[in-house]
Amino acid sequence: MGTLKLLITGASGYLGRQTVARATAAGHEVIAVIRDRTAVLQDWPNSVEFITTDLNSLTAFPKNVDVVLHLAASMDGDDTAQQHDTVGATKALLTACLSAHTPPALVLASSLSVYSGVLVQENDVIDENSPLDDRADQRDAYCRAKIAQEMLCATVAADAGLPLQILRIGAIYGPGRVWNAHIGVGLGPVLLRIGNSGEIPLCHVGHAAQALVLAAEQAAQGVSSVVNVVDSDLPDRNRFVSVLKRGGWPKLSATIPWRMLEATARYLGRWNGRPGLLRLPVLRARMMPLRYSNQRLQDMGWQPEADFEMLMQKAMEDGHD
């Protein structure tokens, strides 16, 4: 693969910083789109160009961009915030892309959260053919925004004849970020763990960045695909908590059978104000024991860099520096 010119949105974010580093290390030219110039990392090569803007304000598009890697999105917020920061920003970016003399190929950093937990059964394998959530109104605003974002990108790419790689990334972890929504609820020094079994769909931040650069190289060759991005070595909940405790938390953990919460969620089904984990689509998507395939990711040439214990231990150590 020769040198590509890549435009990366969300470049100053947790995943974006790693992706810029991976892309430049692979010999590609990078244009980093950031909101705040103070977010520029000192260890980025001088060759990295910058566009400082809110994506909703993006109008002019740089020349000769081969691939856009769209990582920018809001991780929280209500539907109004998600519509502005995720869906609206994506619309503006796509409009700018189409204004280019030669519109670029597209890579979208999406999420495993788009999959349904209701239309699959306990211990099923989630792969790229698994059903998407058709009850997104019962999920969170982030899930709804990612589904809308995927549909928007797919429609524009199909209409314009652009290659599109959609990467559905698992729960990202790494230095300073070791927690995820698939474990349970933390209350001070205590962890209320929901269930023991089932793989946690983790993806180390370095692994996700590697996948994004590989996807850009595929897209530049005209290849479109949907790829689930999770680590090869996925721990179950017991194994995850065992390693987590090495960092000093939780001091105490108690396990609630997920089936007990499922029965409660069914009983409270008509209560509109119930918390997320008492809504059946949310509970099953996050806590039901499932398995996850990354075969398509491996077929792209992706390779794991270490096992779960080593990566998690380093993440906890680096997070305390």
Looking at the domain assignment, is residue 29 inside a domain?
A: yes
Closest CA to 50 of 64, 58, 40: 40
Task: For residues 111 and 133, give the distance between their C-alpha atoms in angstroms, rounded to a whole number.
Answer: 12
Beta strands in the chain (DSSP E): 5-9, 29-34, 49-52, 67-70, 105-111, 125-126, 164-169, 171-173, 184-187, 190-194, 202-204, 225-229, 252-256, 291-292
| The predicted structure's pLDDT at residue 275 | 78
Task: For residues 147 and 92, give the distance between their C-alpha atoms in angstroms, rounded to a whole number.
Answer: 17
Q: What would the mean pLDDT of 83-112 be, rounded to a whole number?
A: 96
How far, in whole angstroms, is CA 67 from its chain's centroid?
A: 19
In what order do the strands lie in the sheet containing 225-229?
49-52, 29-34, 5-9, 67-70, 105-111, 164-169, 225-229
For position 74, which CATH number holds? 3.40.50.720
Looking at the domain assignment, is residue 183 inside a domain?
A: yes
Distances in whole angstroms, Cα of residue 24 to Cα of each of 18, 19, 31, 277: 10, 9, 10, 41
Task: For residues 232 and 219, give the distance between their C-alpha atoms in angstroms, rounded to a whole number.
Answer: 23
Task: For residues 312 and 321, give the distance between their C-alpha atoms in angstroms, rounded to a whole number.
Answer: 15
Q: What would the mean pLDDT of 199-213 be, rounded to a whole number?
A: 99
Domain membership of residue 140 as a residue range: 5-316
| The predicted structure's pLDDT at residue 39 | 67
174-189 pLDDT tens trace: 999 999 999 999 999 9
DSSP lists the bridge partners of residue 277 as: none
Q: What would the mean pLDDT of 204-215 be, rounded to a whole number?
A: 99
Q: What would the mean pLDDT of 99-106 be, rounded to a whole number?
A: 97
135-149 pLDDT tens trace: 878 888 899 999 999
Looking at the domain assignment, is residue 321 inside a domain?
A: no
Q: Is the link from the previous residue into 175 a cis peptide, with omega within 30 of 0?
A: no
Non-local (6+) Cβ contacts of 159 within 8 A are: none
Task: For residues 84 and 294, give the distance between their C-alpha atoms in angstroms, rounded to a whole number.
Answer: 31
Assess contact for 4 and 216: CB atoms under 8 A: yes
Query: What is the chain's mean pLDDT, rounded?
Result: 93
pLDDT(22) > 90: yes
Q: How confident is the model at residue 321 (pLDDT cuts 50, 70, 90)?
A: very low
Assess contact for 181 and 172: CB atoms under 8 A: no
% the chain with pLDDT above 90? 81
Half-sphere exposure of 149 (CA within 13 A, CB side): 35
Report how many domains make up the chain: 1
Q: What would the mean pLDDT of 254-272 be, rounded to a whole number?
A: 87
Looking at the domain assignment, is residue 301 inside a domain?
A: yes
Sort 19 into a burial class: Cβ within 10 Å, 0-12 / 13-18 / 19+: buried
291-319 pLDDT tens trace: 999 999 999 999 999 999 999 999 999 87
Q: Are strands 171-173 and 202-204 parallel, antiparallel or unpaired?
A: parallel
pLDDT(269) > 80: no
